[in-house]
Amino acid sequence: MTAPAAHRAIDAVWRIESAKVIAALVRIVRDVDLAEELAQEALLTAVERWPEAGIPENPGAWLMAAAKHRAIDVLRRGKRLERKHEEIARESPAIVQADFDEALDDDVGDDLLRLVFTACHPILPPEGRVALTLRLVAGLTTEEIARAFLVPEPTVAQRIVRAKRTLAEKSVPYEVPRGDELAPRLASVLEVVYLVFNEGYSATAGADWMRPALCEDALRVGRILAELVPAEAEVHGLVALMEIQQSRARARVGPNGEPILLLEQDRTRWDPLLLGRGLAALTRGEEMMSGRPRGPYLLQGAIAACHARARTAAETDWARIAVLYEALSHIEPSPIVELNRAVALSMGFGPAAGLEVLDEIADDPALADYHLLPAVRGDLLAKLGRFAEARKELERAASLTKNSREQAMLLERAAGCSRAIAKAD
């Protein structure tokens, strides 16, 4: 195998296996920073050996073994071993008598789940949780994270360093929360995964309408989570929502990178495999609830499913979507939810119905600089023939967005209002 081919193979293996390796190491050394350092050393060893010796039959197991042996060496050489023995003795005296190598072979799934909950700990700020999760769980480099979120690489590096330091200083336990602690911690995990997905699905800034790699990373973490906590309905709801939305990816972007909105998309380009997976995940989650009220991700998944099941835009059940948004507003009230409900009402019952809701939330401080409020308002005003007002709203929306593709689309719609005014004159 040539060196370039070997390096490509190593990169692919690392993306798949790094989270498992780091997760196992964190359990052994109880230090996220050291665990990542040891995993990187195992990767460097692979980079040195595999191009000449060939890719092992089971590369993931090779990396895991190399990293664990390195961890044992570190523990045995330094004071860490003494501290580790003291810690283990306090936690469970029986473990001290156990064979050390046997203790290293705990279930990988448990390790990975602990890593996800640690990286998404609510003690960290949202940007720290996102950066640490993408680094440790999704296997992205600091450079890749910075490029995805259009921030300087040193900024991402600082976020990761601060997140690790906070976890260490606060002695955050490396564990999966139980009982009453699980729900709020799980909510933090799901929030991080969906934040990553949304940034990929509708980039907040830059020249690209979508960043598909981020969507794929979020989906990968979501699918892992669904396997690790299969009894949590909201996890399946989030996976359903992401799978269904991602199924539209090919139809959301035109040949020159321009955005194509939902109602204008060629639905034959929606991915049937992802649609099927999403609808199956939704069914699985809803069946778990057995008639009980659904959580926010199951409700959003159900909204996405309404679009997925409509063969054409005209067949969309907007009345049901409006009802689902109303249910969502009761359990997770937010002006963004109301904005989406306004869109559904306008599609189901006319633009005036949507404008009525928008008028109720127009002065909400949370929407002061949110470009989609004037964008939606402009569209509804245009449908009512109020083109001068619509143009003003669309131009304001264009001035607020930081995504150049979206800005161009909004300005073109504003120009369409100008043409309609000129034609009327």
CB neighbours of residue 54 within 10 Å = 11
Is 271's pLDDT higher than 90?
Answer: yes
Residue 280, pLDDT > 60, answer yes
Give yes or no for residue 101 having a pLDDT over 60. no
Q: Of the candidates 294, 314, 334, which is a domain's last residue?
A: 314
| pLDDT for residue 97 is more than 50 | no
The answer as to whether 365 is a domain residue is no
Q: Which residue has the higher pLDDT, 214 or 105?
A: 214
Structure token digits, residue 192? 């991080």
Please compute the mean of the pLDDT values over residues 231-251 and round it to a whole number: 96
Average of pLDDT values for 159-187?
88
User: Averaged over 395-406, what is the pLDDT?
Assistant: 92
Please tell me whether residues 20 and 55 are part of one structural domain. Answer: yes
Is 59 inside a domain boundary?
A: yes
Least confident of 99-103, 369-373, 390-394: 99-103
The verdict on residue 293 lying in a domain is yes
| Same domain (yes/no): 24, 79 | yes
Q: Give me the percent of the chain exceeding a pLDDT of 70.
A: 91
Query: CA nearest 355: which of 371, 370, 339?
Result: 339
Do 75 and 28 touch, CB atoms closer than 8 A?
yes
Task: Note whether residue 53 is domain-resident.
Answer: yes
List, in order, residues 6 or more apart from 388 with CB less than 8 Å away. 417, 421
User: Does one domain contain both 5 and 102?
Assistant: yes
**pLDDT band, very low/low/confident/very high, at 109 (cuts 50, 70, 90):** low
What pLDDT, on a 0 to 100 scale, did the predictor assign at position 339? 95
Q: How confident is the model at residue 150 (pLDDT cuts 50, 70, 90)?
A: low
pLDDT value of position 144: 78
Query: What pTM did the predictor assign?
Result: 0.75
Is residue 56 located within the same domain as residue 133? Answer: no
According to the 3-state scheme, what is the secondary structure of 185-252? HHHHHHHHHHHHHHHHHCCCEECCCCCHHHHHHHHHHHHHHHHHCCCCHHHHHHHHHHHHHHCCHHHC
Q: 414 in a domain, yes or no?
A: no
Check whether residue 32 and residue 70 sit in a common domain.
yes
Of 295, 314, 333, which closes a domain?
Answer: 314
Q: Are 244 and 308 a contacting pair, CB within 8 Å?
A: yes
What's the whole-number mean pLDDT along residues 199-228? 81
At residue 199, does pLDDT exceed 70? yes
Whether residue 16 sits in one domain with residue 112: no
Same domain? 97 vs 122: no
pLDDT at 331 over 80: yes
On whether residue 22 sits in a domain, the answer given is: yes
Q: Report the CATH number that the domain containing residue 165 is assigned in CATH.
A: 1.10.10.10
Positive or negative, the CA dihedral 193, 196, 200, 203 is positive
Give the model's pLDDT for residue 124: 93
pLDDT (average), residues 244-257 = 92
Nearest to 218, CA basis, from 247, 198, 240: 198
* Model pLDDT, residue 399: 96
pLDDT band at 238 (very low <50, low <70, confident <90, very high): very high
Predicted local confidence at residue 79, as pLDDT: 56
Q: Which domain holds residue 7?
A: 1-106
Count of the separate structural domains present in the chain: 3
Residue 380 lies in a domain: no
- 89 and 121 in a single domain? The answer is no
- In Å, how far are 21, 81, 89, 164, 208 from 72, measured between CA atoms? 14, 9, 18, 22, 45
Domain final residue, candidates 314, 338, 356: 314
Residues 58 and 102 in one domain: yes
**Lowest pLDDT segment from 76-80, 99-103, 156-160, 332-336:** 99-103
Q: Is 105 a residue whose pLDDT tops 90? A: no
pLDDT tens sequence across 363-382: 999 888 899 999 999 999 99
Clarify whether residues 275 and 305 are in a common domain: yes
State whether 143 and 59 are in the same domain. no
In a domain, 379, yes or no: no
Q: Does 4 share its domain with 84?
A: yes
What is the Cα–Cα distance from 221 to 242, expressed in whole angstroms?
A: 11
Cβ contact 120:188 at 8 Å: yes
Taking alpha carbons only, the member of 356, 416, 412 closest to residue 387 is: 416
Q: What is the pLDDT, as a whole number, of residue 95?
A: 35
